[in-house]
Amino acid sequence: MTNIIIIERNMNKKANALMITLLAISIVSIIILALTTRVIKNMRQTGEKERNEMAQTYASGALNGLSAKIQTGDFVCEEGEWCNITKVYGGIGDGCSGEMMWQGKTEFSLYSLKKDSVLEVNVEGFTGDINITITGTPTLVISAIGNPLGEYEVLGETLFEASGSYSVTAVTDLLRIKALKADTQITVKSASATTPLPVQMNVYIADVTCANVNTRNVRTEYLNAGVPSIFDFVIYNGKDNLVK
């Protein structure tokens, strides 16, 4: 009887030891699996982040190259048509491809104008009425700026102190709209459906795809250059002009 009891105890000990060993192996396996899964996930996320950054870099580089060429009169792509990104950005590679496009805009639609900031509207050569729609409750001062004899000169100013739609007549080269008191949204366009305003800004768009899955669409808008920012500081100097 004693021998039987001893044998049973030994078997129980061995069984307990085996269960403990299996439990330990299971715990270690779970830990290893979790660590492996985390490492693989981190590697996948790192690779995806790198491809995203690569696509972003190529798209931004292409837009910088395209805008630089357009501004110098080198129209490598026809306006409104998509063309291959390698026309201005030969460094694209690493499984990436892309297209780009530029387009001139002749109006401002719901343009966000911050308090104390300025929107300049090119009206050089334009004859006709201009529709201006204002939302919110700002006070806008609209200055007609001329450029006779190489000087920027204020030819007249108008205050708009309520939201609504207004019509002004272009009699100069540039309308300078400044928001006072509050932010606003403003729409500026020609009153004629057949005679648009001159080009106000160029819009550049690039689509780049890397590894067939990571796509970046980058859009940049460049407003045409107007009067120097220092104009605000000398506009009331008694002469109301600024020599170039």
Would you list the domain boundaries of the chain?
Answer: 107-198
- Are 101 and 88 within 8 A, CB to CB? no
Cβ neighbours around 185 below 10 Å, total: 16
CA torsion through residues 225, 230, 234, 236, sign: positive
- Are 108 and 187 within 8 A, CB to CB? yes
Task: Determine the pLDDT at residue 147.
Answer: 67
216 pairs with which residues across the strands?
208
pLDDT digits (tens, 9 = 90+) for 89-106: 766 767 788 888 888 889
Structure tokens at 95: 């499984």
The third-level CATH classification (topology) of the domain covering 107-198 is Jelly Rolls (2.60.120)
233 secondary structure, DSSP code: H
pLDDT digits (tens, 9 = 90+) for 135-169: 877 788 888 777 655 667 777 788 888 888 888 88
CA-CA distance, 202 to 123, in Å (whole number)?
16
CA-CA distance, 176 to 174, in Å (whole number)?
6
159 pairs with which residues across the strands?
141
Task: Determine the pLDDT at residue 9.
Answer: 54
| pLDDT tens for the chain, residues 1 to 244 | 555 555 555 555 566 666 777 777 777 777 777 666 665 555 555 556 677 777 778 888 888 888 888 777 777 888 888 888 888 876 676 778 888 888 888 999 888 888 888 888 988 888 889 999 988 777 888 887 776 556 677 777 888 888 888 888 877 788 888 888 888 899 999 999 899 999 888 888 888 888 776 677 888 887 876 776 666 655 555 554 544 4
